[in-house]
Amino acid sequence: MRTHDDNFNSLIELAKKILHIINDKDLLNSFYPFHKELGISNSDIHNFILSYLILVGDKLDFSPVSESRLIDKSNAILDDRFAAKRPDVRWYMKDPPFHTKVLIEYERQKIEEKVENLIIMSEDAALNGERNLLCILIYHVDLKQKQPNLSNALELIHNRIRNSPNYNLIKGNAYLIIKNVLLKKEGSIKIERFDKMRFIYDGCEYTHLLT
């Protein structure tokens, strides 16, 4: 049986905590008391989830920031080529040196593109001394629609990590893919649940450990 290091164990435990808290209906209803009755408009769902992820991050004792730009150590905004590569949500550690711990992307259709963004952002973070990250992709689907195939995204994670010139810097990162199941009814959207789909560490899958 393969044994795992402390970093792997801490990331898998963090993933479990996130899945537990993000599915807490009481937390969701306290955040938006009218969710059950009124739902959310289609145009508001992205911003709603990003705001909700701020609350989840705070509950886990991080300093969460929504749509933060990638910042280098001199606090200068990076080159414009990174403009589309900033995470939807970034959770910072509250203790010095206040490094990033979690990167989150929320997407409906462009799953492979968002996975690539996460890898690029994790590489940049690693070059700035921020390693052992949990990189999360949350994609949302209607309860009644056809489910997307994740095989291309998984292959992309495996190949990009293994072939990265920064492999030794990013091999300690984990990638968690979550499916946000939505119910569309009468012109509004209701959040059904967040399902664990994949947990990848060093190119290998360990989703079965997310119990």
Q: Considering the chain, what is the average pLDDT of its residues?
A: 86
Task: State the first-to-last Cα distance of the chain, in angstroms, to the nearest integer.
Answer: 18
Mean pLDDT to the nearest integer, 12-32: 95
Contacts of 60 (CB under 8 A, 6+ apart): 14, 17, 18, 21, 91
> What pLDDT, on a 0 to 100 scale, did the predictor assign at position 158?
85
> What pLDDT, on a 0 to 100 scale, did the predictor assign at position 78?
43
**What is the spatial distance between Cα 22 and Cα 193, in angstroms, rounded to a whole number?**
8
Of the candidate CATH numbers 3.40.50, 3.40.91, 2.60.40, 1.10.3470, the domain formed by 6-209 belongs to 3.40.91
> What pLDDT, on a 0 to 100 scale, did the predictor assign at position 96?
87
> What pLDDT, on a 0 to 100 scale, did the predictor assign at position 2?
52
> What pLDDT, on a 0 to 100 scale, did the predictor assign at position 4?
75
Q: How confident is the model at residue 191 (pLDDT cuts 50, 70, 90)?
A: very high
pLDDT in tens, 34-43: 887 888 988 8
Q: Could you give the percent of the chain with pLDDT greater than 90?
A: 50
Is pLDDT of 65 > 70?
yes
- What is the pTM (predicted TM-score) of this model? 0.88
Mean pLDDT to the nearest integer, 106-120: 85
Mean pLDDT to the nearest integer, 45-74: 81
> What pLDDT, on a 0 to 100 scale, did the predictor assign at position 202?
87
Pick 163 or 73 by higher pLDDT.
Answer: 163
With beta carbons less than 8 A apart as the criterion, state whether 75 and 109 touch: no
Indicate the range of 56-70, 76-90, 108-122, 154-168 predicted with least confidence: 76-90
Going 116 to 10 to 67 to 22, the CA torsion angle's sign is: positive
Is pLDDT of 149 > 70?
yes
